[in-house]
Structure 1
Amino acid sequence: MILEALGSAVIGLVLAWAALHRLAHRLPTRLMVFATGVAGALFGDFVTHSALGPGSLVASLVGAAIVSAASLSLLLRPAGRLRRRSAPA
């Protein structure tokens, strides 16, 4: 169980690093991105492990990666300026 948690934390760090490397201009501070990646991975591992039970290491790590990626995607800001019009077009 400890190795499973460490593995999911590493997956969260890797996904956060990849997001920062690729989308740094659209993300908040590095600390928040890394914390969100790790927290999302640990939560995803916990939920998957609770649902499937012990003995499903690969499935738990896949669940950790999915939840971590989903939580990191919530941090993204819009790419360009938003056009605001005073009257509906």
Structure 2
Amino acid sequence: MILEALGSAVLGLILAWTAAHRLSHRLPARPLVYATGVAGALFGDFVTHSALDLGSVLPSLLGAAIVSAASLSLLLRPAGRLRRRSAPA
């Protein structure tokens, strides 16, 4: 169980590093990105392990990756400037 949690944390860190490296212009500060990736992976592992209660590590790591990626996607800012169109009077 400890190795599963450690593997999930490492997976979240790898996903966060990848996101910070490829999308640095659209993400906030790197420590927040890393913390969100790891926390999302640990939470995803916990939820998947609790829901499925399988002896296999692969579904738990898959759940960790999905929740970590979803958590990181919530940090993304829009790529360009938002255009506001004024309503005609």
TM-score, length-normalised on structure 2?
A: 0.95
What is the letter of the counterpart of residue 6 of structure 1? L
Q: Any idea what the Cα deviations from partners look like across 1:21-80, whole Å, max 9, x if unmatched?
A: 100000000010000000000000000000111412110001000000000000000000
User: Which residue is 1:20 aligned to?
Assistant: 20
In 2: Cα distance, 1:50 partner to 1:23 partner: 32
Q: CA RMSD in A?
A: 0.9
In 2: Cα distance, 1:87 partner to 1:29 partner: 36
What is the letter of the counterpart of residue 71 of structure 1? S
Structure 1 portions without partners, runs of 5+? none
Q: Where do 4+ consecutive residues of structure 1 move more than 4 Å? A: none
Identity of aligned residues (%): 83
TM-score, length-normalised on structure 1?
A: 0.95
**Which deviates the most, 54-63 or 29-38?**
54-63
Aligned residue pairs, count: 88
In 2: Cα distance, 1:74 partner to 1:56 partner: 29
- Contact conserved, 1:49 with 1:56, CA < 8 A, in 2? no
